[in-house]
């Protein structure tokens, strides 16, 4: 009986953690409001894997980057690669938090 109880408890804990860490659905077109200019990010998501493309304008010049990463719950982590860069920004890692209502993202 003790083994059955501990086995059921283990299954319950695994199930609970797996459902609480499910990724939100972030597929779509997002408006970037952190930086000046008119910037948009298109995001695709399959499970926890994300890919994105940013197209924006800074002082009239178009800039673009692409990124790949993952989402875990409301946290998004991805690596960027600038493909058209007018300000010499280096490739980097970005960390973003999705709001509880799923309507906004904030860079960390």
- The pLDDT assigned to 35 comes to 72
Q: Would you give the distance in Å from CA 84 to the centre of its chain?
A: 21
Question: Which domains are assigned to the chain?
Answer: 23-107 (2.40.128.20)
pTM for this prediction: 0.72
Model pLDDT for residues 74-90, shown as the tens digit of each residue:
899 999 999 999 888 89
Whether the pLDDT of residue 97 is over 70: the answer is: yes
Query: By CB neighbour count within 10 A (0-12 exposed, 13-18 middle, 19+ buried), where does 96 fall?
Result: buried
Tokens of 80: 């960027």
Q: 38 vs 64, which has greater pLDDT?
A: 64
Whether the pLDDT of residue 46 is over 80: the answer is: yes
At residue 4, what are phi and psi to the nearest 5 degrees?
A: -65, -45
- The pLDDT assigned to 105 comes to 85
Average pLDDT for 83-101: 90
Count Cα atoms within 13 angstroms, Cβ side, for 7: 4
> Do 38 and 61 meet the contact criterion of CB atoms below 8 Å apart?
no
The secondary structure of residue 48, as a DSSP letter, is T
Mean of all residue pLDDT scores within the chain: 82
Query: Which of 29-33, 36-40, 60-64, 94-98 shows the lowest per-residue confidence on average (mean pLDDT)?
Result: 36-40
- The pLDDT assigned to 1 comes to 52
């Amino acid at each position: 009986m003790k083994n059955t109880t501990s086995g059921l408890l283990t299954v319950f804990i695994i199930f609970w953690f797996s459902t609480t860490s499910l990724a939100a659905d972030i597929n779509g077109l997002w408006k970037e409001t952190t930086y000046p200019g008119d910037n948009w990010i298109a995001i695709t998501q399959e499970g926890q894997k994300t890919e994105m493309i940013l197209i924006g304008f800074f002082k009239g010049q178009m800039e673009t980057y692409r990124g790949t990463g993952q989402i875990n719950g409301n946290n998004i982590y991805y690596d960027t690669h600038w493909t058209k860069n007018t300000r010499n920004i280096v490739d980097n890692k970005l960390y973003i938090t999705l709001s509880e209502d799923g309507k906004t993202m904030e860079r960390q």
